[in-house]
């Protein structure tokens, strides 16, 4: 199986034994506490679950700036996006202390992790502007990821972490949430050697389904990992439980048995386009996948990125930066001539009129207006799941 990123083995930061958790929680009674933001909590879940191997905690200012400018840590390790604990709260602890981090997404002031405070540093407004511009390609606050980063504050708390739990993800998505360790173990148990990963924050319409099928066939995959984001999204995106149900319905009806593994991970969407595509590759490599499907406007939002910027960025990083390979997907559309979904580059005898262009945005718009989805857009069983959500919401 493919090795984890920058390591011979996964390095999850979750505390494994009940005894160690109890000891840490007991020690936390005398620690200073800080309520982290949702982005930091999501980083903790990813650190705990092994997805961010080989990171051991939150980045320092030098590492954050290096990642923004060069896509490497100070030590030269490839890493595309900052992993930070930023705050705008008053600091009442010191370098060298251990602090308890409170989960903002769970009631009752629950501790999600213990952090060793290596450094407490301030980012200037100019430094924050530069970091955001490099990572997101824009400083426009209408970009949801940009606004979220600006809102986090300018005090950077770096240091190693010991993660106590996976926030709300295990309880709310018990059937779907999986750590990188669990996914690697499941792949090994199945005997899969060559696995294609598909990233999604949306329900899967016909184009997504066919992309998985095409990619699996072309790289001779043993199986497909459908890996859905379960964390915070922008307003208007379809909730994770509805997506989960829609995807499971599609797989049950239209894929061979035991060919697809449906899982999810606990992270808040960055909408960082090309940089986030690289991050997606990092943690799919950590899951043990050989390929990641990168499609049109992967991890993008609005008109901030070009259709294939997320593919082109992989050509700009060093050849040895990642072990995972990329399956580049073209525009997909429903061919009226062939009565199936195709990648448009694969069919030369078509005119524009021969295609029905498929779009997740258009699917959401039609559903919000109470319109039935045509067969070219969604399987009827999937459309029924989505329509029930929209009818209930209205």
Which residues are identified as catalytic?
201-202
Give the integer Cα–Cα distance in Å for 285 and 234: 26
Evaluated on CA atoms 266, 71, 183, 359, the torsion sign reads positive
Q: Where are the beta strands (DSSP E) in the chain?
A: 32-35, 57-58, 86-87, 98-102, 111-116, 119-122, 155-163, 195-200, 223-229, 260-265, 291-294, 325-328, 332-335, 340-343, 355-357
Q: Say if CB 275 and CB 136 are below 8 A apart.
A: yes
Give the integer Cα–Cα distance in Å for 84 and 118: 13
Give the integer Cα–Cα distance in Å for 235 and 213: 30
Half-sphere exposure of 33 (CA within 13 A, CB side): 13
Q: Say if CB 247 and CB 180 are below 8 A apart.
A: no
Residues 6+ apart with CB under 8 A from 129: 139
């Amino acid at each position: 199986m493919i090795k984890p990123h920058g390591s011979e083995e996964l390095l999850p930061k979750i505390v494994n034994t009940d005894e160690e958790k109890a000891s840490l929680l007991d020690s936390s009674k005398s620690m200073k506490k800080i309520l982290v933001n949702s982005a930091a909590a999501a980083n903790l879940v990813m650190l705990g679950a092994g997805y961010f191997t080989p990171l051991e905690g939150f980045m320092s200012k030098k590492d954050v700036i290096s990642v923004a400018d060069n896509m490497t840590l100070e030590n030269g390790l490839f890493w595309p996006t900052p992993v930070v604990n930023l705050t705008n709260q008053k600091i009442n602890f010191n370098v060298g202390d251990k602090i308890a981090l409170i989960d903002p997404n769970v009631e009752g002031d629950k501790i999600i992790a213990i952090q060793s405070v290596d450094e407490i540093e301030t980012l200037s407004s100019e430094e924050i502007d530069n970091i955001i511009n490099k990572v997101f390609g824009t400083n426009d606050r209408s970009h949801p990821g940009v606004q979220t980063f600006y809102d986090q504050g300018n005090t950077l708390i770096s240091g190693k972490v010991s993660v106590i739990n996976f926030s709300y993800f295990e309880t709310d998505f018990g059937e779907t949430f999986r750590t990188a360790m669990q996914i690697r173990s499941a792949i090994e148990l199945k005997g899969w050697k060559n696995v294609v990963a598909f990233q999604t924050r949306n329900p899967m319409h016909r184009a997504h389904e066919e992309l998985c099928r095409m990619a699996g066939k072309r790289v001779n995959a043993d199986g497909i990992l459908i890996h859905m984001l379960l964390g915070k999204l922008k307003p208007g995106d379809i909730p994770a439980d509805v997506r989960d149900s829609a995807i499971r319905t599609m797989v049950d009806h239209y894929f061979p048995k035991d060919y697809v593994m449906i899982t999810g991970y606990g992270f808040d969407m960055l909408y960082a386009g090309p940089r986030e595509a690289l991050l997606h590759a990092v943690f799919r490599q950590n899951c043990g996948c050989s390929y990641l499907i990168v499609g049109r406007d992967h991890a993008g939002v609005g008109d901030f990125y070009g259709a294939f910027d997320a593919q082109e960025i992989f050509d700009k990083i060093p050849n040895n930066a990642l072990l995972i390979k990329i399956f580049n997907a073209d525009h997909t559309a429903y061919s009226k001539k062939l009565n199936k979904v195709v990648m448009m580059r694969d069919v030369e005898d078509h005119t524009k009129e021969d295609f029905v262009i498929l779009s997740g945005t258009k699917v959401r718009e039609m559903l919000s207006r109470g319109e039935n989805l045509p067969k070219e857009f969604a399987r009827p069983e999937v459309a029924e799941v989505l329509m029930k959500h929209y009818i209930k919401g209205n």
